Structure 1
Amino acid sequence: MEVDDVECSKSAINQWSVVKPFGGCQPPKQRSLHASIVVGDCLYIFGGYDGSSRVNDFYKFSFKASKWSQIHPAGSSPTARDRHVVVSYADKIYIFAGYDGNNRVNDFWQYDTEHEVWSTVDPALGNPPTPRHSHSGVEYDGSMYIFAGYDGNYRSDFHRYNFPQRKWSIVPVKGSVPKARYRTSAVAYKNRMLVVGGHDGAKHLNDFYQFNFDTLEWSMVETTGQVPPPSPRDSHSAVICGDSMYLFGGSTGSARNDLYAFSFETDQWTEVRTTPGATQKSNVPCPRFCHTCDVYNNSLYVFGGYDGQQRLNDFWQFKLATEVNIDIPSSSLVSDLREFLNDAKLSDVTFIVEGKPVYAHKLLCMRCSYFRAMFEGQMREAQQKTITINNVSHRVFLALLEYLYTDEFEISMDIAMDLFVAADQFGIDRLKRLCEKKILVSINIDSAATILQALLLLCCLPENLGGLNQELWFEV
């Protein structure tokens, strides 16, 4: 095959370019103080200040389709606000606190990207941070961490929200704690959170701190090299790409458009400059602050902000690595394997379940320890082409095989308990835990006693039952 037969393109690195969408709706209107986040192949933007009022419009940019769409979720949505925090966890978007034009707020919202619906987050335990704006936040290991901000005073407090436990708590920190501030940046890298700059109410800052999630200790980041750190500033953006943190723009008293990289491998700052050939003024974003910056496929994406005179809605990309664009079809592995389910073609074992044949393949069944022992050991079934399976229904056994073939199965409540029992019987621990989760999140007062008894008999994780008992107690 000739190279020309492949439709591809190769783009240069270290160059800014304006993102030009193909079709779709108009981009979000001019704004600053908004929040954005990448989930999957889309960039989501919520809220902000348009120069006259706070807004609560919600947009999505598809990187694959290169187009904007405005999202109109059914039901209630967060009120208009700016200076809020957004994080993502398990393909859901979480928004916390901000300023609605009259008051600082501390409400907590979740957006389900699959079902396109907002809902309020109601913690089971603990107290949230005080109403505030201009705070910072990151997600790390199943928890959201909220640092600093302004609640009528400049803050340096540190809070954690544990998503699985639905619990707020104050992080018991030690070490050299950063001074109170707002409009700082925070990013998570490996087991650390990095905080740069901000404003303490009197002056701009450029101090550089790290928080170790394992030791719960704050410390100053010791840097090396000849390049000085970015000048003191607030309202900048910082993101992680690879083993570097990138910091763009902000306000030093005037708007900035400089771009810095901090390498975690060398502990050095460098100022990132565009490659030769990109010298025209139009090829660099204008200075700005209160913008957003996100990472997708080794590129920075900057949207909007304030240049000191007007709000912006321009959309810029900065490539950090050479990118070869080839249209690669989506993987068909899972769908191909699903086609073999209960298909006599190439089947080398037949299970009889409730008198019905189920055609299967030993190689895939051996993902399960029960069947591996059966086919590799000295059991008589190892030599048989037809094997009878007892104590499980035909429907449940097919569901169990679908999981073994594809590593996925959409668990509904009408099958969850029977599938849980079968997964326990055949020693498929992950499927058992998936069923357990489905059962626990769907439980109610009417079904609690029966389900709890069954789960206890089958060795459900005790910590889950403890939390569940507490939730049911509050529901009563």
Structure 2
Amino acid sequence: MSTMSEELSEDNLTLNFGPKEPVHCWKKLQPCEEFVGAKRSKQTLVSWSDGLYIFGGDNGKRMLNDFLVFHIGEGSWARVVYTGTPPAPRYHHSAVVFSNSMFIFGGYTGDINSNSNLHNKNDLFEYKFKSSQWLEWKDVITGPLPPARSAHGAIVYDNKLWIFAGYDGHARLNDLWMIDLTDVHPHWMQVNQTGDHPPTCCNFPTAVVDDSMYVFSGQSGAKITNHLYEFKFLEQRWIRIPTEHLLRGAPAPPQRRYGHTMVAHNRQLYVFGGAVEGTLQSELHCYDVDSRSWSIVQPVDGSQSPSGRLFHSGAVCDNAMYIFGGTLDAAATRSGEMYRFQFSSYPKCTLINDFAKLLQNGQFCDVEFLLGESKDALSAHSVVVAARSPFLHEKIMDVHKQSSTLQSPSFIHDNPLVVALPQATMEVFKMALHFMYTDRIHPSLESTSREGMSSEQMLLMMDVYKLSLLLKIQRLEMLCVQYIQASINEENVLLVLENACELRLCSLKDYCLKFIVRESSFKTIVMSSEFENIEQSLMVEIIRRQQSCIRSRPTSPDFSHEDEQSIPSSLQDDLRDFLQSEIGKQYADIFLEVGEVVIPAHKPVLAARCAYFEAMFRSFMPKDHSVKITFGKIIPTEQAFHSLMRYIYCGDSVMPSEDALYLFAAPDFFGFSNQRLQVYCKSTLEQKVSVDNILDIFEAADAIKMEEVKAHILSLIVNDFGTIIKQAHFRTLKRELLLDILDTLAAKMYQK
């Protein structure tokens, strides 16, 4: 273990109030020795208190029912000592924790060595952690039982154990059962599922986030997909999570697989391992429930990452994921390894949610759009729409210049500006406006079924696509194209083609023509009754297109060139550019005074992100539209305040360590939605304190009265005083700080 002195000599300092492990770090822990328990796969792993509990599995020769525990704090393994009769040896069973008990359901049992008496189970066992006692529920449960099964999913929600799908020995299942674990007379109930449920499947993981259960991939024969499914408990309805919103070039969902694990943490799903087309995976994939986006989590340098594997088990304890065991190769080598992955504990960025609320509540709107021939009025915020749409920026500026009577370049008006948009209808513009504030397609346009959008959704999406071309919002344009293309099929392609021609959407028209002339689709489409009713000119164009490519017919529409497009700018990108641009200054309607410096800003953005500004602007308007900025009694540096503005406008949290000190208290003062900025400031201080900047941070901590940070910095200084005193900066410290260092040195000497 390195000392503080050693860390200083390497030009790095570590503050002691951070996590013990760097975030996104894999670490190999003490493996399970054979004298404690065999290497295995297909076992279960659960966490309770400070322990990770492993039950069952197989070692390649026989099924197991030994019960092991890994004590996290001590890093040691042991066999669990218990009373009562445990479940028979088995694998592909399920285990969940409820209250102070672990529940084991089902699984596959018998003698795999002699291949005799092999069968699935539907029994339910409880292990009470506090009394170390096994109990079987066979005499407690009344009524019929679920069909026996293995390789199923199991979770706990609302005091109930839920069992989904699996394999019954003859076929894969997709039924859902539940039992109330608090009922005096417990009984199994089959759940009537609605919606677009997953195919029959086995060897898949399940996880719960809030009021939903998630299922990803698994073994389902020819129907295997990499779709993520969500079961909404309150509605008892399945939906397929759409992927059309994932832009080309953005991280794609993991490939379809089986034998993988999935755990939930901080509203994110982490998928690890599994078998993909005959290969064992070692990448860690993450699905963010709020942004509905996939990413690959890159481990930090120095990580001891596990190799690819399947039929391992995973569990979460505190802010870490633990992976144990599994099959490592084609020779079915079993593992007794335990790995820990340290999650990020940073609160999520609330930028999109904050702007969605701003649009919904309609406060501080300063522009009104008159839509269509009927001139229906819809209010919005000029800063958002101008940042997202070059077309709307020009329209707003034209009206601003005509109506402004002010000599200053500020964007201050007594009444909202009125901008006419005869090209847009209310319904379609609302959809586009929702995207401008959230970077998301309006929920009413999204399909949750395999068949894609309905005809009504398709036509509305095409109108939104046409409007996106007018507004010059490339990201919305690309998303609309992806949604439409993903939903085109033999039944609706002619409808899309006709409307693409009517709306003059040339690229979409070309896509439809390529789809129609595919060898697999052409005959079905031209023989349909819909084909008889299309315009003659389109009919001729289809026949000619089919004849022209008959010798080199494509198997599917070729849009590979679109994959090479760069990803268009996001809401964060547009607001970052807007904040730093001259255009952004033209829309300034509030001026923030930081010392002698005046920084132009925008009321809707400040109000959306900060409760302090929202209350101020709602109650009264500051004199001269100016606000003096302090953090309590402290005036931040100009550089630190620019870091704060980047966080407010676009969620940027990267900043110099000196800025982090000033901004550490900002969340409490300005009233952000959560403590994300404060956590990032703390992390920045932990990771970026060095010999070169330690005295700067020391002075700043004293100036803004951050006593906790100041005390830590003092301890670091005195631990390598010989190095720090050689700094030229040391001789310029004020008298009070030098006395603080001497007092700390004296206290350290006295302790020795």
User: How many angstroms apart in 1 are the aligned matches of 2:18 and 2:291?
Assistant: 35
User: How many angstroms apart in 2 are the aligned matches of 1:90 and 1:134?
Assistant: 24
Q: Could you tell me which runs of 5 or more consecutive residues in structure 2 were left unpaired when the two chains were aligned.
A: 5-12, 111-117, 347-752
Could you tell me which amino acid in structure 1 is paired with residue 137 of structure 2? V
User: How many angstroms apart in 2 are the aligned matches of 1:254 and 1:81?
Assistant: 26
8 Å Cα contact 1:148/1:158 also seen in 2: yes
8 Å Cα contact 1:208/1:221 also seen in 2: yes
Matched, 1:46 2:55: yes
Question: Match for residue 180 of structure 1?
Answer: 200
User: How many angstroms apart in 1 are the aligned matches of 2:178 and 2:309?
Assistant: 31
- Identity score, percent: 27
User: How many angstroms apart in 2 are the aligned matches of 1:256 and 1:7?
Assistant: 35
SS state of the match for residue 282, structure 2?
strand
Matched, 1:293 2:311: no
Question: Match for residue 79 of structure 2?
Answer: 70
Q: TM-score, normalised by structure 1?
A: 0.63
User: How many angstroms apart in 2 are the aligned matches of 1:31 and 1:24?
Assistant: 12
Matched, 1:164 2:182: yes
Question: Match for residue 345 of structure 1?
Answer: none
Question: Match for residue 135 of structure 2?
Answer: 119
1:211-250 Cα deviation digits (max 9, x unpaired): 0010110111134432110101001000011120100000
The 1:4/1:277 distance shift into structure 2, 3 A limit, reads: closer
- Superposition deviation, residue 27 in structure 1: 5.0
Question: Match for residue 245 of structure 1?
Answer: 269
8 Å Cα contact 2:30/2:337 also seen in 1: no
Q: Could you tell me which runs of 5 or more consecutive residues in structure 1 were left unpaired when the two chains were aligned.
A: 324-476
User: How many angstroms apart in 2 are the aligned matches of 1:193 and 1:158?
Assistant: 12
Matched, 1:137 2:162: no
The 1:68/1:26 distance shift into structure 2, 3 A limit, reads: farther
User: How many angstroms apart in 2 are the aligned matches of 1:28 and 1:271?
Assistant: 33
User: How many angstroms apart in 2 are the aligned matches of 1:268 and 1:15?
Assistant: 22
* Equivalent residues, number: 317
Matched, 1:200 2:255: no
The 1:98/1:9 distance shift into structure 2, 3 A limit, reads: closer
Could you tell me which amino acid in structure 1 is paired with residue 283 of structure 2? D
- Superposition deviation, residue 321 in structure 1: 2.6
- Flag the structure with higher helix content: 2
Which one of 113, 119, 122 corresponds to residue 106 of structure 1?
122
The 1:7/1:197 distance shift into structure 2, 3 A limit, reads: closer
Question: Match for residue 81 of structure 1?
Answer: 90
The 1:181/1:9 distance shift into structure 2, 3 A limit, reads: closer
Could you tell me which amino acid in structure 2 is paired with residue 285 of structure 1? P
Question: Match for residue 280 of structure 2?
Answer: 255
Comparing 192-201 with 71-80, greater Cα deviation is found at: 71-80
8 Å Cα contact 2:270/2:287 also seen in 1: yes
- Cα RMSD (Å) of the superposition? 2.4
Could you tell me which amino acid in structure 2 is paired with residue 267 of structure 1? R
1:150-191 Cα deviation digits (max 9, x unpaired): 002110000011112212100111111111010111111100
8 Å Cα contact 2:38/2:336 also seen in 1: yes
1:79-109 Cα deviation digits (max 9, x unpaired): 0000001011111000000001311111110
- Superposition deviation, residue 126 in structure 1: 3.1
Which one of 5, 12, 22 corresponds to residue 12 of structure 1?
22
Q: How does 1:302-451 map to 2 (within 5 A)?
A: 302-308=323-329, 309=331, 310-321=333-344
Question: Match for residue 211 of structure 2?
Answer: 191
1:347-381 Cα deviation digits (max 9, x unpaired): xxxxxxxxxxxxxxxxxxxxxxxxxxxxxxxxxxx
User: How many angstroms apart in 2 are the aligned matches of 1:126 and 1:245?
Assistant: 35
- Superposition deviation, residue 294 in structure 1: 0.9
SS state of the match for residue 325, structure 2?
strand
Which one of 238, 257, 261 corresponds to residue 233 of structure 1?
257
- Superposition deviation, residue 149 in structure 1: 0.4
Could you tell me which amino acid in structure 2 is paired with residue 139 of structure 1? V
Q: TM-score, normalised by structure 2?
A: 0.40
Q: Following superposition, which runs of at least 4 residues in structure 1 exceed 6 angstroms of deviation?
A: 2-9
SS state of the match for residue 311, structure 1?
coil
8 Å Cα contact 2:94/2:152 also seen in 1: yes
The 1:299/1:270 distance shift into structure 2, 3 A limit, reads: same
Question: Match for residue 210 of structure 1?
Answer: 230
